[in-house]
Each structure stands twice: as C-alpha cells, then as structure tokens.
Structure 1
Amino acid sequence: MPHNKFSRFQTEQEVGQEVERFQKFLEREDLMENTILGYTWTIRYFLCTYHTVNEDTLLKYKSYLVSGFSPATANQRIQAVNKYLRFIDFKYHVKAVKVQQKPFLENVISMQDYKFLKRKLKMDNPTYYFLIWGMACTGARISEILCIKAEHIVDGQMDFYGKGKKYRRIYFIKDYQNECLKWLESMDKSSGYIFLKGDGGRLTIKGVEKQLKSFARIYTIDKAVMYPHSFRHLFGKTFYENYHDLPLLADLMGHASLDTTRIYSRRTSAEQASIINKIVTW
C-alpha cells in the first residue's frame, strides 16, 4: 500500500509494517547497524505513541524529549525523526536542541594508564590489546574498529562512510600494522573480521563496554575512564597537543564541524584542577 504521511497508525501491525519500510530505506542508505537499530526504535515509539505525523505531534515529541532526556540524547532521537521525515517526504524539519559544550574534557584515560593497560593486555589478552591500541592510535569509534578486517591491516588503511555520510579514511601506523600482521599470522588468519569472541562470533559494542569495566577492576584503573570513547578522546587530545591542526584532526576523526573537534584544544577537568592548584597560591 502506498505511504500516506497523514495516515493514522492504529495497530501494532500497521506500525510494524511502516517501521519495516523505513528500515529498508535506511539499509539502502548504507547506515551502520547500530544507527539503523536506534532510528527504527525511535520511529516505532513515535508512531505507537502519537499515531500520526504532523507538526503538532512532532512538537509534542520534541517537548517530551527536552523534558526527559539530556540534549545529546534528545538530538539523537530528533535526528532519527528527521531521517524518517525525509523518507516520507514530509516538508518539515525538527530543530535540534542547543547543546552547550563543556569547557573541558571529562573522564579521559591518561596516557600513563593507557600505556599500563596496553602492557597488561599484551600479555593477558591480545585481542583487546590490538582493539584498544587501534582505538587510541586511529581515533576511530568503537563501531568502526569492530569492522576492521585482516585485509585492512594489510592495506594499512580503511575507507568507509561514517556519520552523516562523511567519507573517511582511517590510517594504521606502521608499528600497529606490523605487530598486528604478526598476530594475525600466528593465528593463520588472512581475511575477515579480526576482533572476535572465543566462539568465533564478532565482538559487540556492549560486550566491549562490559569487558572494559572488568579490566578496570582487574588492573585497578578508574572505571569512569574505561569506556570505548575514552580512547577516541585520548587520540584527539594527544594528536592536537602534538600537532595543532584542527581541520586535519576533524578529517581524521570524521567530524562534520570544527566546533566538535575544538574540545580537544582544551584541558581535561583533572588537568584544569592540577594547574589551578599549582598556580593559585593566594
């Protein structure tokens, strides 16, 4: 049945059919699996709650998001809704919630703790050794890192479309490439995904998050800094400290706006506190 943007979705079956159509559209857009999952969940909730799409229901949904969620979460849901509006050719755009960027980085693993963790994992868990090193030396998102294949390591780089359909190339530094190739050779692995579980299945984002918390406990590292994006932040912060080129860093990290990248020109909250304690003696 052709889609009508003024239709009312009264039953779960009607909502399910519409969400399925939207999902196929997203798959054709070649979005990440987790992005598709988040977008379809959002639209399922919206249609089950408001039953129809018009400016009134869209504004009610935005008010619900603003009153109950952080600006970042609200904007993720709004982004999903706007993608759906484009899908149904609805000439309306829900404005994003303004997010005030913090003047400091929060909960970023220190270089000292990162190097300590690497040393431990090299002996105890090679898979996570290369996964964590990969995040920290490329600035890649965890969803991107888990897509690395042996062929990418051989090439020394990985090309794909990231957030916002932005083309991006991830480079593997020579030390990482050479050591990773030796690891893959020791497992007689020359193709396919490299970050796998014991049963041969691919590692998942939730699985990695859980394992990092476990490492925090085992190696006595602050659990607040043991999450995947912490290593992406470490890359951004350390790269900028050594090479003050924000446009280049934005390209390497896949940022659409320099405003997003600019956070890496700032100190962490711990560094700010340390500087204040050294300087302020009055």
Structure 2
Amino acid sequence: MTIHTAHIAAFERALRAQERSAATVEKYLRDVRQFAAYLGGAPLTREAVAGWKSHLLEQGRLPTTVNGKLAVLSSFLSHLGRRDCRVRQIRLQRRLFRDQARELGREEYERLVAAARQKEQPRLALLLETICATGIRVSELRDITVEAAAAGRAQITLKGKTRVILLPGKLCRKLLKYARRQKIASGEIFLTRGGKSLNRRQIWAQMKALCSRAGVEPGKVFPHNLRHLFARCFYRACRDIARLSDVLGHSSMETTRIYLISTGAEHARTLEQLRLVS
C-alpha cells in the first residue's frame, strides 16, 4: 500500500476522537506527513521505515528526536493495521545531566518578566509568571479563569485527565487585577484583543521577542522551559518527587525525574566534591 492524504485525515479523526490535545495532534500529523514526503509515493514497507530512521540520523537529528518521530509513526502504522512495518527505537542510556546551554535559570526568567514589563506588555509578563508559578503546560492556560483566581485553585483538564492545582495568593491577586482592567468578568483570563484564546505560536513568538532586551539566549526561551524551572524550584523546596509528579500531571514519575536532571556544571561540581583525585 501507499500512504494517501485520506489515510492521514482518518488518523487525525482518530486522534481527535481520543481527545488528544491540539498540540499533540499537530505534532503527530507533522511527523506523519514528513514520513509520507520521504516515501514520495513509494510503497509502505518495513524497509522504508528503517530507511527513514537512518535518514533522520544522517541529517544529524538527535536520537531522542528520532525516537519521538518513530513513536508517532508506530501509532500511525497501528492505525493503518500495518504493525509489521514498525521498527525498533534507538536504545538510549539514561541521561546523567542536561545541556546547560538550553536550561533557563531563575535570574534569566526574572529578566524576561522585567523585559515584558518594560515593553509595556502586562499580559505577557503575567502569563510568564502564571506558567512559572504553577508549572502548567502552555495548553493549560485556558483553565486559568477569573473563577479559578477567585477560588485560589484551578481545575486542569488535559488528555482525558483532570487535576486540581493551587494558585499562589499573590498570583491570584495579580490575575484578578488584570482581569478587572481588561473588563473580563468571567472565563479565561489570557485572551487576544479579539477575545480568543492565545495559541502556542503566539506565546512562543512573544517570548522570543523578549530575548534581546532581557539578555537571554533565544535557545533557552520557550514555554516548556518555564515548567521545567517550576519543577526544579518546587523539588528543592519539598524534595518530594511523587508530589511534584501529581502537581505536573505526569502519568509516570520517570517523566518527572527527567525534569530534575542536574546540569553538566552541577554534575561537575558534584564530582569535584568527591575529592577522589589526590
């Protein structure tokens, strides 16, 4: 068989029926279309999938990126009833430390918030603080409502799961004050001028535009890094990975553990503290 647009459209309907988030659906479709473009109308075979895997590695893609794409493709192949075409992912050793060049620090975060205020972008400054002070995903901002700010807690629903998170008192006061200024009496707080929800791309672009003024490397500035910063600060305060996992809405504590991996510099300091070289 060959892959046609009808197959991809049916896969999209299946993903939406499973109540996958909009961002997840977008990513899955992007990866599947990338594979279809690689095939260029050639028949779907296991050898072709293995060839795509090698092609991605030859392009210099990181093994974790390749594995992510293979996981998406496996889901698509299962949907097509072609499990026979699936290939194994790349075996990876557990990471001991993360790339410090991509890790957003607390001081850098504070400079981003200050830069947003200097540019007279109160919505963006408050949005950064909201994500970083709660650890929510950018797609969960829609659940930050006037009602949630008034109650001091928000009910977060994503991927068929619901959790309740507490909102810091100071953040609630800021959210309610902003809502009053914008004449938002109920519902979502972070809206466009037209009254629509902010999407991921808009937020991404606005954050990137702060980098120069804040003096922060653009490679460190994206919404999910705020979530990582929250996770590290929360864990330092309570040292309870199970509790953190619940707050973040992770299904597995292994995912939470990834958020807490130390940087290379921190790892090096730990090695020096061992004093095992005379």
Offset from partner CA, 1:119-139 (integer Å, 9 cap, x none): 454563221122111111122
Matched, 1:83 2:75: yes
Alignment of 1:16-27 (within 5 A): 16-27=5-16
2:156 partner SS: strand
CA contact 1:23–1:40 (8 Å) conserved in 2: yes
Gaps of 5+ in 1: 1-6, 10-14
Kindly provide the amino acid, as one letter, of the partner of residue 55 in structure 1.
R
Kindly provide the amino acid, as one letter, of the partner of residue 21 in structure 1.
A
Matched, 1:185 2:180: yes
Matched, 1:145 2:136: no
1:194 to 183, 189, 192: 189
| Residue of structure 2 equivalent to 1:134 | 130
Please give the alpha-carbon distance, in whole angstroms, between the structure 1 residues aligned to 2:250 and 2:88: 20
Kindly provide the amino acid, as one letter, of the partner of residue 84 in structure 1.
F
Gaps of 5+ in 2: none
Kindly provide the amino acid, as one letter, of the partner of residue 133 in structure 1.
E
Aligned residues: 269
Please give the alpha-carbon distance, in whole angstroms, between the structure 1 residues aligned to 2:259 and 2:31: 31
Please give the alpha-carbon distance, in whole angstroms, between the structure 1 residues aligned to 2:242 and 2:166: 16
Please give the alpha-carbon distance, in whole angstroms, between the structure 2 residues aligned to 1:226 and 1:274: 25
Over the matched positions of the two proteins, sequence identity in percent amounts to 24
| Aligned CA-pair RMSD | 3.1
CA contact 1:240–1:264 (8 Å) conserved in 2: no
Q: TM-score, normalised by structure 2?
A: 0.80
CA contact 2:140–2:156 (8 Å) conserved in 1: no
Kindly provide the amino acid, as one letter, of the partner of residue 137 in structure 1.
A
- 1:214 Cα shift? 2.1
- 1:278 Cα shift? 9.2
CA contact 1:131–1:195 (8 Å) conserved in 2: yes
CA contact 2:21–2:158 (8 Å) conserved in 1: no
Matched, 1:8 2:2: yes
| Residue of structure 1 equivalent to 2:242 | 247
Matched, 1:235 2:241: no
Alignment of 1:149-164 (within 5 A): 149-155=145-151, 156-162=153-159
Matched, 1:62 2:53: yes
Query: Residues 266 and 8 (structure 1 numbering): CA distance in 2 closer, same or farther, change over 3 Å?
Result: closer
2:2 partner SS: coil
2:200 to 193, 200, 205: 205
Matched, 1:219 2:249: no
Please give the alpha-carbon distance, in whole angstroms, between the structure 2 residues aligned to 1:54 and 1:234: 43
- 1:73 Cα shift? 1.8
